[in-house]
Amino acid sequence: MISPKYHREIPQRYRLEAGKCKACSNISFPPRLVCPECGKNEFETVRLNGEGKLLTYTIIRVASDKFFGKTPFAVGIVELKDGVKLTTQIADVDFDKIKIGIKVKLVFRKIQDEGKSGLHCYGYKAVLV
């Protein structure tokens, strides 16, 4: 079942929209209602740059049923140039090439199929630059 839950995340997942705090300039991704840095609550919408480096990673060998048949796949934590950190799959790469510190960029990809109808759900994945 495709749900409002999926629909309302589209700006973040498809377009990398984030919230930049008008008081302290900290960028929250996904956008928040309260700034985790200064506690203020006025934001402007910005789009993330999408380029960054890999802080850590793993290769998932055993996944939940939702990702059955997709293993093994790589995931990592990426720090983008604008300071935002996020968790993402790392696509199109030999696992041997994945190292902490490598440069990556986010691209638009299918992430999973939801429910019995197998509806495609999209978002970002990292690829090597």
Partner 1 sequence: MRDVAVIGIGMTQFGELWGKSIKDIFVEAATKAIKNAGVDHIDSMYVGSMSSGLFVGQEHLGAILADYLGQTPIPSTRVESACASGGAAFRAAYFEVASGASDIVLAGGVEKMTDGADVTEALATAADQEYEVYQGVTFPGLYAMIANAHMNQYGTTREQLAAISVKNHRNGANNPNAQFRSPVTLEQVMNSTLVADPLRLLDCSPVSDGGAAVILCSMDVAKKFTDTIIKVKGTAQASDTIALHSRKSLTTLNSVVTAAHKAYKMAGVTPKDINFAEVHDCFTIAEAVVYEDLGFCEKGCGGPAAEEGRTAIDGKTPLNTSGGLKSKGHPVGATGIAQIIELYEQLTGQAGKRQVKNAHIGLAQNMGGSGASCVINILEAK
Which amino acid is residue 113, in one-letter code?
Answer: D
30 binds, among partner 1, Zn ion, none (CB under 5 to 8 A by kind): partner 1
Binding partner 1 by CB under 8 A: which of 18, 21, 27, 86? 86
64 binds, among Zn ion, partner 1, none (CB under 5 to 8 A by kind): partner 1
Question: What is the C-alpha to C-alpha distance for residues 71 and 61, in angstroms, rounded to an integer?
Answer: 5
- Residues in contact with partner 1, shown as a per-residue x/- string from 26 to 65 under the rule CB under 8 A: ----x-----x------------------xxxxxxxxxxx
111 backbone φψ class: left, alpha, beta (φ>0; ψ -120 to 50)? alpha
Question: What is the C-alpha to C-alpha distance for residues 60 and 71, in angstroms, rounded to an integer?
Answer: 7
Site for partner 1 in 87-126 (CB under 8 A): 87-89, 95, 100, 111-112, 121, 123
Least distance (Å) between residue 119 CB and partner 1: 14
Binding site for partner 1 (CB under 8 A): 5, 9, 30, 36, 55-67, 70, 73, 75-77, 85-89, 95, 100, 111-112, 121, 123
